[in-house]
Amino acid sequence: MFIGAKEEIWPLKQPFRISRGSRTEARVVVVTVSDGKHLGRGEGIPLARYNQSIASVLAQIESIKSEKNLDRRGLQELLPAGAARNALDCALWDLEAKASGKRVWELANIPIVPEVETSFTISLDTPVKMSAAASAAAFAQGFGVPRILKLKLGGDDLDLSRVQAVRETAPAARLLIDANESWSPWHYREIVPTLKELRVELIEQPFPAHADEVLETLDHPLPVCADESCHITADLPHLTNRYEVINVKLDKTGGLTEALRLCSRARETDFKLLIGCMVCTSLAIAPARLLASTANWVDLDGPLLLARDRDHPVPYPNGKIGIPPRELWG
């Protein structure tokens, strides 16, 4: 089997900012696998937060190029969860689909619906600028009346004003918030009651992953979602009594194979599901889209943040996500 990997850089429409910093481009690794007749592709997004870089991901992929008879099951043992395994796992799913003449959801025996509604992320900024971004997003993405907006917050004194400003701009929108580990317990206690009054539906990762045990001592008037605290199925036991929801991202699980396992086990243990993504192209969204049919929330807007996307992209009709075209993946 041939395995290739390369870096690609995709400029963003505008700077994207969260509590840990900002970026102006998406740097991704694209993996290709071939059996000599068919070609499969996958995309991974290395994150410094998880001690990954383009170089480290390329090195991981290089380290297994000599493996004979590589398949998805063996891959789970060869590479740890992360962007490298994600790109290669998804490429192997794509190759299998191309070789079999089936779509990946048929191979995985999972349901697929024609469209699912996704949130659109509003980057961290001043209240005025976030309000303006929410208004602009409604029209630029064809949302009409804003449906679901995900607001990045920063753990400072402006957080509540940010949400209030967006709520005034978009009174009918469903609101999710993502703190990216930036809050203190005091901040949580101070603003969560008002967030509930503002009809926020979900709080994502308020505290650092290494300090999230404090959630066991706090009231949860709104469901709290684990992102940085949940990567793989083995993480679930210690999340009980801390979170009600988990954010499943393929770059954390290390691909669709482990993501399917995580989703199944999470449902069995009464967690709700949010299917998320990094800032990425449609090639990374396509496999994640397969998980969205039965999720409680979907946050797969990565390509909408790009200045341009791939050829044959995942369709986004009126704030929803359609089925990935076969020319793209799976």
Catalytic residues: 152, 249
Number of helical H runs and strand E runs in the chain: 10, 13
127's CB contacts (< 8 A; 6+ apart) are: 158, 161, 162, 164, 165, 166
DSSP per-residue string spanning 8-57: EEEEEEEEEEETTEEEEEEEEEEEEEE-SS-EEEEEE---GGGT--HHHH
CA angle 160, 161, 167 (to 5 degrees): 90
Strand-pairing partners, residue 21, are 18
CA distance 179 to 100: 43
d(CA 162, CA 154): 10
Q: Which residues of 233-251 are buried (b: 16+ CB within 10 A; e: fewer)?
A: bebbeebeebbbbbbbbbb
**Dihedrals phi, psi of 102, to nearest 5 degrees:** -105, 165
β-strands 174-178, 116-117 pairing: unpaired
Give CA 213 to chain center in angstroms: 23
